[in-house]
Amino acid sequence: MLYNNFVQQRALTPGQVDYACDALRRLYDTCHWRKIEKFLIPAIHRATHEADQLLAELDHLNSTAAEAMGEIAERFAGLSVDSADRVADFCAAVDTFCNSLLQRLAREEQELFPVARTVISGEAWFSIANKMLAHEAYMQETKPRPGPVAPIARGRLASQRASRVTLTH
C-alpha cells in the first residue's frame, strides 16, 4: 500500500517518509516477535536438524527485511525525498522489505508448518500451546493501563457527551 501510494509521486515530505518508516518498523516488530519465532521454531530445532536449512533460509529472509528497513531509516528517515529518482530508491527499498517478509510468511505456511506437523509430537504441541498461553497472559498483565481520568477532565468529557445526545419523543 505504501509503495502504491508513493511510487507515482515526484517527492515525499519528511512526514510521509517518517510515517512509512514507522509503519515498516511496526510490521517488522510484529512479524519478528510472533509466537512462531518464540515457541514453534525453537521446538522444531529441538525436534530435528533436517529443517536447519529451511530455518536458515527463513532467518536470511528476516535479515534481508531488517537490512532493508535499516537502509530506509539510515538514508531517508526525517528527510524529504526530493526527486523522482530518490522516490524510486525509497520505493525499491520498501519493496525489498515487503517482499522479504511476504516470502518468509509464504514459506512458513507452505514449508515450515508441514515440517512442524511431522516432527513435533502431540505432547510437545501441548507444551508449546501452554507456553503461548502463559506468554499471552503475561503480556496482558504487564500491558500498560491508562491512568484514571482527572475529575475535571471527567466532568468535561461527560458534558461534551451530553451535549451531543439528542432526545426525541
Crossing angle of helices 52-76 and 14-32, in 10° steps, is: 160
Q: Where are the domains of the chain?
A: 2-124
8 A C-beta contact, residue 27 and residue 1:
no
Three-state DSSP at 166 gives: coil
pLDDT tens digits, residue range 17-27? 898 889 999 98
pLDDT tens digits, residue range 98-126? 999 999 999 999 999 999 999 999 999 99
Residue at grid coordinates 525499491: 92
Q: pTM of the full predicted structure?
A: 0.71
8 A C-beta contact, residue 2 and residue 22:
no
* Residues pairing with 81 in the sheet: 12
pLDDT tens digits, residue range 52-96? 999 999 999 999 999 999 999 899 888 888 888 988 999 999 999
